Amino acid sequence: MNSPNMNNRPATAALFVLGAMALFGLIDNFVRLAAETGGLWQFHFLRSVIALFILMGFAYWRGIRIAPRNWKPVALRSVLATVAMVIYFGCLGLMPIAQVVAGLFTAPVFVVIFSVIFFKERVGPRRVLAVVIGFAGALLALQPDAGEVGLINAIPVVAGAGYALSNIATRRWCGDESTPTLLGGFFGLMMVWGLIGVVVLSVWPVAVPEGADGFILRGWVRPEGVFLAMIIIQGIGSLIGVGLTIRAYQLAEAAFVAVLENLLLVFATVWAALLWGEWPDLWSGIGLVMILIAGVVIAIRSPEPPSIRLPAGESNSGASRGAT
């Protein structure tokens, strides 16, 4: 029996996350254009269809396996990741966006907490400090409104916890699965959520505000013009970005990758400034610098993450073929 191959490449994982966050920061800036005439659920449904079509074609061309080796972990990871995204986007219709995004960015904190409590990982003081700095920087950069604390204010934090669990699951439970397999699970379930939303809004229509305010409540519309262009861009871009992120979580410890994801705020801000002239104020700028510092502290001299087992007979170079 061959000895298991080890797949431990934190430096490569960091590069993958860097590329994914730069891409997400760019394409997510254009969602505002889709929101003017389109609906959120149709947006998720159609972009997932596009992503799956490309993924299946690529897998067929390269002879890559899509079906999971073990259905249960992949299904559980897909549920955790997509429910977190559904909660996140759903909250956007109820709360200020800054509060919602700040709640989602508690994920690195939960990754560390869950890793210590449930998996008995050793997390040194340097990494804990980096997580705290990154989270504080996210709060400064986003400047969530200070309102009454209640159940509704905690809902985005639930999304952050769910996203953290899905990231841990990627590393611990799905290490033997290919990146295309996990991509298929994610986009397949996101397509289902989008279809459910469209059907519900068709059966029980509600009053829809004009413009971007109606993005969450808008049902099916004819996909054309800018809305159609944004769906195509998001379908292709999110497939690449999510693929890079998934591969990063397979190559390195979840706590390591999670903190680097905070760089999305930096890239989103830079792209917003270049595209729309939206420059951050002083406090937001300080927050962005704190996020960068946290990412550097995590990336440099990071302790070696636990190893994961690759499928029998598959080399490290072969395992990375799914990352696009």
What's the farthest any 2 CA atoms get from each other in the chain?
64
Alpha helices in the chain (DSSP H): 10-27, 31-35, 40-62, 71-91, 97-104, 107-119, 125-142, 151-172, 179-203, 225-251, 254-260, 263-276, 282-299, 316-319
In the chain the first and final C-alpha atoms are separated, in Å, by: 31
Q: Can you tell me the distance from the alpha carbon of 22 to that of 26, in angstroms, rounded to the nearest whole number? A: 6
User: What pLDDT score was predicted for residue 184?
Assistant: 95
User: What pLDDT score was predicted for residue 98?
Assistant: 60
pLDDT tens, position by position, 199-208: 999 999 999 9
Which tokens go with 209? 């505000």
User: What pLDDT score was predicted for residue 183?
Assistant: 94
Residues of the chain with pLDDT under 70: 1-7, 92-94, 96-99, 142-153, 299-324
Q: Which residue has the tokens 């897909």?
A: 78
pLDDT tens, position by position, 216-232: 899 999 999 999 999 99
User: What pLDDT score was predicted for residue 113?
Assistant: 83
Helix (H) or strand (E) segment spanning residue 323: none
Within 8 A by CB and 6+ apart from 25, the residues are 264, 266, 267, 268, 269, 270, 271
Q: Can you tell me the distance from the alpha carbon of 65 to that of 72, in angstroms, rounded to the nearest whole number? A: 17
User: What pLDDT score was predicted for residue 5?
Assistant: 37
Report whether 269 contacts 288 (CB < 8 A).
yes
Which tokens go with 256? 């390591």
Report whether 169 contacts 76 (CB < 8 A).
yes
Overall pTM surpassing 0.85 (yes/no)? no
User: Any idea where the domains of the chain sit in the sequence?
Assistant: 24-29+40-207+228-305
Q: Can you tell me the distance from the alpha carbon of 234 to that of 246, in angstroms, rounded to the nearest whole number? A: 17
